[in-house]
């Protein structure tokens, strides 16, 4: 995916590494990115807001929790340390799943996978950690695997779950938010067409405001993402405070029965005029052009 200019990406807040936090993926100034999700065979927390010393403190705290759990009365209340090759990382398992901490190129990462089969969860966590590599902004790996913000999981194995969605904000236009999501198509999911998915997104999933009015005599148009045919639409959004913004949406239906990985894709480009910080927000036509150019750039490696 090519963006029109330099952009920031929303990451997990530092606070979320220590205690539960609602809307824990945000931009550095606190702007929420509620659509983002970092899920690949488990859930990732990724942040640049914790120093290496802070990371070491997190690991020490977890080591103390594991040690203290050995005094629990029942075996399933105890946590177990998992063997790792990277001595700076720390992995553990317990009733309900497994997890690890890692520090890669200035980023603190937590990964958690839940399962009643602790052995299976432990294997999944260690496999992800073993294949986890740092990735610079804009780097396109040549090996098979999954990209996350600043990270790459190098693997050719079939993934059990994948909902990787990142939110970007243009540095030159802080009012422009760009969200792209790649989701593994699963057999047990509702089989929605791309248009049905778009209708659901506009009316339910995003909660963008009080109302959305699609523009154009034919509001649903054919748009391709990764060379696959999808449904595109452009809407005027009435916010809860009665202000007006705009959104450009494209959805592509995945195929769980395809011989190759054919995921659900979603691109959403939104103007949030209240975040413009004194600059004139982009116009409706400018936003639609940005969305169309990004859509045309998306291709699967």
Distances (CA, A) of 143 to 22, 159, 161, 164: 35, 15, 19, 18
The pLDDT value recorded for residue 42 is 96
Distance CA 79, CA 94 (A): 5
The whole-number pLDDT of residue 293 equals: 97
Average pLDDT over residues 133-152: 91
SS3 at position 117: coil
DSSP string, 130-198: HTEEE--TT---SSSEEEETTEEEE--SPPS-EEEEEEEEESS-TTEEEEEEEE---TTS----HHHHH
Amino acid 164: pLDDT: 97
Calpha distance 102→132 (Å, rounded): 9
pLDDT interval class at 300 (50, 70, 90): confident
- Count of CB atoms within 10 A of residue 280's CB? 9
Reading the block at residue 194, the tokens are 């791309």
Longest CA span, the chain: 69
- What does the mean pLDDT of the chain come to? 93
pLDDT value for 63: 97
pLDDT band at 217 (very low <50, low <70, confident <90, very high): confident
User: How large a percentage of the chain has pLDDT more than 70?
Assistant: 100
User: Is the predicted pLDDT of residue 190 greater than 80, yes or no?
Assistant: no
**What average pLDDT does this structure show over 102-121?**
95
* Distance, CA of 8 to CA of 170 (rounded, Å): 7
In tens, the pLDDT along 16-55 reads 999 988 899 999 999 999 999 999 999 999 999 999 999 9
Query: What pLDDT sits at residue 168?
Result: 97
The contacts of residue 71 (CB under 8 Å, 6+ apart) are: none
Q: Which pLDDT score is estimated for 53?
A: 97
Rounded to an integer, the average pLDDT of 83-99 is 94
40 to 44, 80, 161: CA distances (angstroms): 8, 23, 6
Low-confidence winner among 82-91, 103-112, 142-151, 252-261 (lowest mean pLDDT): 252-261
How do residues 191-213 score in pLDDT, each as one tens digit?
A: 778 889 898 888 876 778 889 99
Structure tokens at 95: 């009733």
List, for residues 55-66, the tens digit of each pLDDT value: 999 999 999 999
pLDDT band at 89 (very low <50, low <70, confident <90, very high): very high
Domain-wise residue ranges, the chain? 7-164, 173-297
What's the pTM value of the predicted model, to 2 decimals? 0.93
Q: Any idea which residue has 């999981």 for tokens? A: 153
Count Cβ neighbours within 10 Å for each residue of 87-114 and write b for 16 or more, e otherwise: eebbbbbbeebbbbbbbbeebbbbbebe
For 227-281, the pLDDT digits (tens) are 999 999 999 999 999 999 999 999 999 988 888 889 999 999 999 999 988 899 9
CATH code for the structural domain at 173-297 = 3.40.1000
Given this model, what pLDDT does residue 36 score? 96
Residue-level pLDDT at 183: 94
């Amino acid at each position: 995916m090519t963006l029109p200019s330099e952009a920031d990406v929303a990451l997990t807040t530092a606070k979320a590494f220590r205690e539960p936090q609602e809307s824990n993926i945000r931009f550095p100034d606190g702007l929420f990115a509620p659509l983002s999700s970092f899920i690949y065979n488990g859930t990732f927390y990724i942040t640049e807001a914790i120093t290496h010393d802070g990371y070491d403190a997190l690991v020490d705290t977890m080591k103390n929790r594991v040690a203290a759990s050995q005094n629990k009365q029942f075996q399933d209340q105890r946590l177990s340390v998992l063997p790792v090759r990277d001595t700076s990382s720390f992995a553990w398992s317990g009733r309900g799943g497994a997890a690890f901490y890692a520090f890669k190129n200035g980023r603190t990462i937590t990964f958690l996978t839940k399962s009643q089969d602790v052995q299976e969860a432990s294997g999944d966590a260690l496999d992800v950690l073993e294949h986890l590599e740092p990735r610079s902004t804009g780097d396109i790996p040549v090996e098979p695997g999954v990209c996350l913000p600043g990270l790459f999981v190098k693997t050719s194995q079939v993934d059990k779950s994948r909902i990787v969605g990142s939110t970007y904000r243009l540095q030159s236009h802080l009012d422009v938010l760009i969200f792209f999501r790649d989701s593994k198509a699963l057999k047990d999911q509702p089989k929605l067409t791309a248009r049905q998915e778009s209708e659901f997104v506009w009316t339910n999933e995003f909660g963008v405001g009080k109302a959305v009015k699609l523009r154009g005599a034919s509001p649903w148009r054919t748009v391709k993402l990764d060379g696959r045919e999808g449904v595109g639409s452009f809407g005027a959004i009435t916010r809860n405070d009665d202000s007006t913004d705009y959104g450009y949406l494209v959805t592509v239906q995945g195929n769980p029965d395809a011989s190759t990985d054919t995921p659900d894709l979603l691109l959403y480009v939104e103007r949030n005029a209240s975040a413009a910080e004194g600059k004139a927000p982009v116009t409706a036509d400018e936003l639609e052009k940005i969305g169309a150019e990004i859509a045309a750039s998306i291709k699967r490696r």
